[in-house]
Chain A
Amino acid sequence: MAKGDNIIQLVNMGKTFHTSSGDVLALDDINLDIKEGSVQGIIGLSGAGKSTLVRCINYLEIPTSGKVIFEGKSLGDLSDREVREARRNMGMIFQQFNLLDQRNLLANVTFPLEIAGEDKKKAKERALELLRLVGLEDRYKNYPAQLSGGQKQRVAIARALATNPKVLLCDEATSALDPKTTAQILELLKKINQELGVTVIVITHQMSVIEAICDSVAIIDHSHIAESGPVSEVFNNPKTEIGKRLILGDGDADSVKPVIFGESSNSKIRIVFDGHSAHQPILADLILSCKVPVNILFANTKEVEGQAVGQMIIELPDNREDADKITQYLRSNNIIFEEVD
C-alpha cells in the first residue's frame, strides 16, 4: 500500500450502546478516510463520541452499523482471531498510559511480542531498540512506578510500536501531561510519523494538539462529524458552529467561550492570516489607508503545518461608512475575513 492511499475508511459507521436506561447513540453516520502516512486529528468536546470512534477503529468497540475498512478489508468480515491479528497492526496509547505495573519497562515493551508468540531473544532486542527510540533504554530494568507521566507515555509508545504497526491510535495521549511534556510527546509522535511512516490518529479535546502535529482534522459534535479536512483549511475557514467555537476558543474544547468579547454591540469581524499575509502589516496598512481606528478584541498566531497562521477579531466602528471602508479595504486586498457575533 502506497503513501497517500486510504489505510482506514469509516463508512456510514454508527454505534449505539444498549443500556438499562435505554439506547444511547454514541456515533451516527461517520464517514472518514484516513490516508496512509498522515496524521489525522479527531477533536470534539467531552462526550462527543471521539473515544468511542477510536475504539471502533480497532474493534475494541464493535460498530452497530456501517463498516470499518482497514487496508481494504472490512473488520466486520473477519473472525475473532483475524481481528486480533489486525490489532497488531494498530498500536494504541491511552490517557492513563495503562502500563503493566508488575512488569519492568523491558517486559512491558516485549509484552505485545510475547502475545504474538515472538522469539524471546528477538523480542528483547526489539524492545531495547524501541526504548532507545523513546530515550529510556538505560531505564529498562525500572518499573512504571519509578517513572514520571511523560516517561510512562514514552514507554507506552514504545510498547505500541513493538509489533511494527502501520497505525498508532492515540486516545487523549497528552491530556494527563503538563504543557512541556505534552510538547515533547507530540514531537515524538511527529518523529514516529515522519521517520517510521506510521499513520497517527490523534484523539483530543485540545485544538493546540491538532495544530501542533495533524495534517487533517475531523471535528466530532453530538455523535456526528461536523466538518473535516486539511487542518489549514478548517482552521482558516471553519464552517460549523462547533468548528468556530473550537478555533476561536483558547484551544481547549472544554472551555469553549472565548472571554475576549466586550459589551459592545458593534459588529465584529474575524480576519485570518494565512502563511502569506502573516508577513504583511495588514492592520497597520488598513488603519493608514482607511484613516479609521479599530479596536482589537482578540489575536493570536500559531504554527500550523509549518506555516505561521493567525487570526484577529476586530471591532468595527459605529459609523456605517467607516465600517464599510474597512471591509472594502480587506476585500480589495484579498484578505480572508468574516463577520462574527
Chain B
Amino acid sequence: MDAASISMYLEETWATIYMTLISSAISYLIGIPLGVVLVVTDKDGIAPCSSVHTVLGVIINIFRSIPFLILLVMVLPLTKLLVGTTLGPKAIIPPLIIASAPYIGRMVESSLKEVSSGVIEAAKSMGASNWQIIYKVLIPEAKPSLLVGAAICITTILSYSAMAGFVGGGGLGAIALNYGYYRYKTDIMMVAVVVLVVLVQIIQEIWMRLSRATDKRVRN
C-alpha cells in the first residue's frame, strides 16, 4: 500500500471516528431525557402520565422504523439548514442524530427499568422528590447497564456512519463504496471493512470494561 492510500485511510478513519463520537454525544444528550421521560411517565413510574408516554413512544417508534438510508435523503434540506452543507462528514451528523436519539431513548429506558422498584420506594420514603430520584437513584444505579447500552449504541452509530458514503459523506464507508465497490477494487473495500471491524471491537471492549470496572455489585 502506498503512502497516498495510507494517508487516505487515516483521514477517513478519523472522519468515521469524528462522525461517530459527535453524533453519539449529541444523541445521548437527547436520548437520556427521552429514556427518562419514558420511564417516569410509565404506569408504574414515579410520575405516571399515559398520554405523554404513549405519544412519545409512538414518535420514537416511527423514527426507529424509517430505514436509515431513506432518512438520510429525507432530511437533506434540514441538514443543509443546520450545518450549511449536504456533503462531507458534517452532513451525516444531523441524520445520524435523528436516527440514533430515539434508539438511545429506548436503550436508556430499558436500563433505567432495571433499577428495582424497592430502591425507588425507599428513596421516596426518605422524602426524595421525583427529580432527586432521577438523578440520585435511577441514573447512578443504572450506570453499569447504561454503559453496556452505550457500547451497543455507539457501535450501531459507527455502522450507520458507514452509509454516509452514499450521500458523499466521507469516512471508511465512502472508501469501501466509492473506491472498492464502484471501481471493483475488492482489496480496498476489504481493508476499509477490516478497519471498521477493528473500530467496533475497540469501542465495544472499552465500554464493557468501563461498565465492569464501575459496577459495585461485583465482589472484587
Contact = CB atoms under 8 A, between A and B. Distances in A.
Nearest to A83: B127
Interface string B84-119: 000000000000000000000000000000001011
Interface string B196-217: 0000000000000000001111
A60 interface: yes
Given A145-B219, A146-B219, A102 B128 contact: no
Interface stretch (B50-58, B129-137, B151-159): B129-137
A114 B136 contact: yes
A53 to B, nearest CB: 15
Interface of A: 58, 60, 84-88, 90-92, 94, 96, 98-104, 111-112, 114-116, 143-146, 156, 159-160, 163, 169
B140 interface: yes
B119 A98 contact: yes
Contacts of A87: 124-127
B26 to A, nearest CB: 26
Contacts of A146: 219
A100 B141 contact: yes
A86 B124 CA distance: 11
B44 to A, nearest CB: 13
Interface in B124-178: 124-129, 132, 136-137, 140-141, 143-144
A85 B125 CA distance: 10
A86 B140 CA distance: 26
Given A101-B216, A145-B217, A146-B219, A88 B127 contact: yes
User: By DSSP majority rule, is chain B's interface helix, strand, loop, or mixed?
Assistant: helix
A120 B125 CA distance: 21
Given A100-B137, A145-B217, A112 B118 contact: no
B218 interface: yes
B216 A104 contact: yes
A58 B128 CA distance: 13
Contacts of B218: 145
A115 B121 contact: no
B131 to A, nearest CB: 11
A160 B123 CA distance: 10
A199 B216 CA distance: 34
Contacts of B132: 115
A303 to B, nearest CB: 31
Nearest to B121: A60
Given A60-B125, A84-B127, A146-B219, A98 B118 contact: yes
Nearest to A81: B129
Given A84-B129, A100-B141, A115 B136 contact: yes
A98 B121 CA distance: 8
- Closest 8 A/B residue pairs (Cβ): A98-B122, A92-B125, A84-B127, A112-B126, A87-B127, A98-B118, A143-B216, A88-B127
A116 B143 CA distance: 23
Q: Which of B136, B140, B216 gathers the greatest number of chain A CB atoms within 10 Å? A: B216
Contacts of A60: 121, 124-125
A125 B4 CA distance: 64
B122 A94 contact: yes
Contacts of A156: 122
Given A100-B141, A146-B219, 8 more contacts: A84-B127, A87-B125, A91-B126, A101-B217, A102-B216, A115-B136, A145-B218, A163-B126
A139 to B, nearest CB: 14
B125 to A, nearest CB: 4
Contact of A145 (B141, B214, B216): B216
B128 A84 contact: yes
A90 B125 contact: yes
A146 B219 CA distance: 6
A54 B119 CA distance: 17
A115 B123 contact: yes
Contacts of A86: 127
Nearest to B143: A102
A112 B123 CA distance: 8
